[in-house]
Amino acid sequence: MTWTFLWSVLSGCIMYGVPLLYATLGEVIGQRAGMVNLGLEGILLVGASIGFVVTAKTGNAALGVIVAMAAGGLFNLLYAFLAVTRRANQLASGLALMFFGIGLSALIGKAYIGTRIVGLARYQIPGIAQLPWASKTLFNYDVLVYLAFPMAILVWWVLFRTRWGLSLRAVGESPTAAFAAGRRVSLLRYQAQFLNGALSGLAGAHLSLALAMSWTEGMTGGRGFIAVALVIFSRWHPLRAIAGALLFGGAVTLQLQLQAQGTDVSPFLLNMIPYVLTLGVLVVWGGVRRFAAPGALGRVYYGED
Amino acid sequence: MRSRLKVLSDQVRRGLASAALRYVLILLIALAAYGAVLLMAGKDPVKAYGDIVKFTLGTSYGLSEVIVRMIPLLLTAVAVALPSRLGLINVGGEGQLYMGAWLATWGAITFTALPAIAFVPLLIFLGFVGGGSWAAVAGLLRAKGWVNETISTLLMNYVAPLIVGYFVYGAWRSAESSAFPQSPAFPPAARLPRLFGTRIHLGLVLAVLVLAIYWFVMQRTAWGLRMRAIGGNPEAARRLGIRLGWYIVIVLFIAGGIAGLAGMAEVSALHGRLRSGFSPGYGFVGFMISWLAGGSPLGMLLMSFLLAVIFAGGSLLQVTQGVPFAAVNVLMAIILFIVLAQIRFARRRRA
């Protein structure tokens, strides 16, 4: 166990955890407004493909991220339209969005399979390389990594310290009561889903622009569903979502480290780790989670016409 | 009496006609929307649709290929519809399909000496148990109140193909083909028989049988009635003296078993070997079919035919026009959007 090894594990936790953290934060906002969105997988794919195509065409990764965010937000309005305005079942609406995202991203990214790009620029924290126990590669991340934890704090602040956040949570607990208190239920839910889509689009762009630096069909590999699971794990709290995302990042890192060290364990078994671990964590958490869920989660709201 | 019956049958006919009109309109809108998407992707939608219709419905070979694809879709759709009657959302058809194929493959390459008369029932049994056990895990987690079955079945979809990959690239890797990892070939007795001299296989009989049993149990037995009564109402279950936990596990076991049959039939009848990634997402589409049909048996039959046409068309367009196969998801999503949005095509008549 050298410092280098420990640091590379920590670094892996952060790199692989960050995109998941953004998606989880988005879904926390959405679920706090009372809506389960299984379409995250589709939004991640759309964000990843659009972000990649824009970056490959313009050479500007920052522009790619911004376009991916906007696209994710707008794309998710489709889900909001079905689940809020048309009062459709949330799970089916989410899966419809997933189908759409899988297909759309395949069309968008088709011409760019195999294209290489210069990903997001990386910056090292000044002075860190001088520390004796730190390796040169440490804390050398792109801007989105540095912004991830502040983003979690921002989401927490918005949800728990602002009027808008209070209204949003009220809508998630009881839309009828929130409506009676003068809140605009549909508008708030649309806003929440736009933010959810934007954050998930950002997460997708981070996958293709900072981690993989390439586009492949279905490259998100179920991360959208893992993000939904992590929302339950974090008990609908943005700061606990950090722990969940790091845990997932750790699982991916463990998998990659074992592969790199040439263990005898089959890569197929190692690839299971993130999914099995997520499921296992939910099982362990199961007994205590119930009372933390927003009261109206998953229910269709029929009022306000 | 007679005239009253006539009025009734007229009403039924008018209802059916308006339902048919509705579905045709949904399909036309979806095709127009998808045509716009194809146009934006630089393809020729008119030629694309022409090719699909000519291939799938115009030739007997094409039609038989559509029916081949319909088999797993229909089975995975029933695997979703059955637990949905109990308020359970099984999104794990894809994983259950893989596990059914996995266990059936184990049987096929282990008991190689069996005669066909014993092999086919064994494969059906193993396929059922493979998919069923996989779903029962999710059922157990739900019954214990630990993990919601939606999220657990979704996550397990990603694990099952990895198990198949582990065996296909590992212990079961056939020595004869090193380039393409796959299991050894099934013995001839372990191949489900094909019908009508086409690639259509015994799985079709299984699928139709399963659908008929599903209809019969739901409509005509106390079990089905009780299930519909409990659906999403734990209080009703408690009053009826039903142990809901066991009910959940058993229903999900049966549902997973049905999806497992689809996987078993795919590998046994079509491929004759287990390969990794052999399903192009049948399980997910099965979920969609069940949703579009609202769990109605006739609706599932029609919808799985329609989606099989779309699937067959997707493979065709990939070859003829270079449209990625995954793009069929866009068309499926558009159909689902229209149905979910409950767009009205005619003003409701006031009673």
Per-domain residue ranges of chain B = 45-340
Which residues on A lie below 8 Å from B332 (Cβ)? 99, 103
Tokens for A196, please give them. Answer: 């959810």
Supply the pLDDT for residue B194: 81
- Residue A298: the pLDDT is 77
Residues of B whose CB is below 8 A from A93? 340
Quick one: pLDDT at residue A302? Answer: 79
Residue B279 distance to chain A (closest CA, Å): 15
Q: What is the pLDDT along chain A (305 residues), one digit of tens a residue?
A: 567 777 778 888 888 999 999 999 999 999 999 999 999 999 999 999 999 999 999 989 999 999 999 999 999 999 999 999 988 888 889 989 999 999 999 989 888 888 888 878 787 777 666 665 655 556 678 888 889 999 999 999 999 999 999 999 999 999 988 988 888 999 999 999 999 999 999 999 999 999 888 999 889 888 999 999 889 888 899 999 999 899 888 888 888 888 777 777 777 888 888 888 888 888 887 655 555 677 788 778 877 55
Can you give the pLDDT at residue B95?
A: 94
- As beta bridge partners, residue B182 has B275
Residue written as tokens 């839910």? A189
Collect all residues of chain A within an 8 Å Cβ-Cβ radius of residue B341. Answer: 81-82, 86, 88
Residue A241: CB partners within 8 Å, gap ≥ 6? A21, A24, A25, A28, A152, A230, A231, A234
Least Cα distance to A97 among A44, A140, A43, A174 occurs for: A43
Output DSSP code: residue B198. Answer: S
In chain A, the largest separation of any two C-alpha atoms, in whole Å, equals 65
DSSP summary character for residue A81:
I
Nearest to A106 among B327, B332, B336 (CB): B327
Distances in whole angstroms, Cα of residue B168 to Cα of each of B71, B94, B176, B184, B277: 24, 18, 13, 9, 10
Q: What ipTM was assigned to the predicted interfaces of this complex?
A: 0.85
pLDDT given at position A155: 96
How far are the Cα atoms of A49, A56, A224 from residue B328, in angstroms, in the given order? Answer: 17, 25, 20
Strand partners, A217: none
Q: What is the pLDDT of residue B351?
A: 42
Q: Which of B240, B251, B236, B64 is nearest to B153 (CA)?
A: B251
CA B202 from centre of chain:
16
For A53-181, strand residue ranges (E) read 122-124, 140-142
User: Which residues of B fall within a CB distance of 8 Å from A96?
Assistant: 288, 333, 336-337, 340
With vertex at residue A90, the alpha carbon angle to CA A88 and CA A96, rounded to the nearest 5 degrees, is 85
CB–CB contact A225 B154 (8 Å): yes
Distance CA B288, CA B93 (A): 11
Name the residue in chain A with its Cα closest to that of B141.
A283
- Which string of b and e fits B287-304 if b means at least 16 CB within 10 Å? bbbbbbbebebebbbbbb
Report which of A16, A40, A303, A292 is spatially closest to residue A173, judged by C-alpha positions: A292
Contact B145 A107 (CB under 8 A): no
Its sign, for the CA torsion B17, B19, B23, B25, is positive
Residues of A at the B interface, defined by Cβ within 8 angstroms: 38, 78, 81-82, 86, 88-89, 91-93, 95-97, 99-100, 102-107, 110, 217-218, 221-222, 225-226, 228-229, 232, 266, 268-269, 271-272, 275-276, 278-279, 282-283, 286-287, 290
pLDDT number for residue B176: 72
Q: pLDDT by residue (tens digit) across A12-62?
A: 888 899 999 999 999 999 999 999 999 999 999 999 999 999 999 998 999
Say which CATH topology domain B45-340 has: ABC transporter involved in vitamin B12 uptake, BtuC (1.10.3470)
User: Closest chain A residue to B89 measured between Cα atoms?
Assistant: A91
Q: Which residues of chain B fall short of a pLDDT of 70? A: 1-12, 14-15, 177-178, 232, 234, 343-351
- Determine the 3-state secondary structure of A139 from DSSP: coil
pLDDT value for B232:
62
User: B340 vs A92: CB contact, 8 Å cut-off?
Assistant: yes
